[in-house]
Amino acid sequence: MEIYWKVLLLNHKIDVLNLLNSRIFAGYFKSVNDPESIFFQPDEDILLLNDRYLQGELQCMFKDLNVSIQYDEVLKACKQLKTGKSSCTYQMLNEFVMYGCKK
């Protein structure tokens, strides 16, 4: 926390990489997931998902997803995409998928 306040109070540019090394960074993320830490904030959705997973309730979903995918099926689906559109949050146009694969 002390480094955080130093960064906020300084009026000139500083090299944040020298202040925040990978050990401190990893330690913070470990602490937010540690129930004994003051930084821990449980996410109810994650806790519910973990409970359902531990009770084996998600196995039917995993079985449905664990199927082989044929190359021809993927190629056919790529050809059916609409141009000028993006099908993901990365804003990657469908043309990249449509014309970027080997035929």
By residue range, what is the domain housing residue 38? 2-65
Instruction: Check whether residue 18 and residue 32 sit in a common domain.
Output: yes
* Total count of domains within the chain: 2
Angstrom CA distances, 11 to 15, 16, 92, stand at: 13, 13, 39
What is the pTM for the complete model shown?
0.36
Instruction: Check whether residue 91 and residue 52 sit in a common domain.
Output: no
Instruction: Check whether residue 30 and residue 52 sit in a common domain.
Output: yes
Instruction: Check whether residue 60 and residue 77 sit in a common domain.
Output: no
State pLDDT tens for residues 44-94: 888 888 888 888 888 887 777 888 888 888 888 888 888 888 867 667 788
Instruction: Check whether residue 21 and residue 53 sit in a common domain.
Output: yes
Q: What is the dihedral of CA 45, 47, 48, 54, to 10 degrees?
A: 140
Cβ atoms of 98 and 81 within 8 Å: the answer is yes
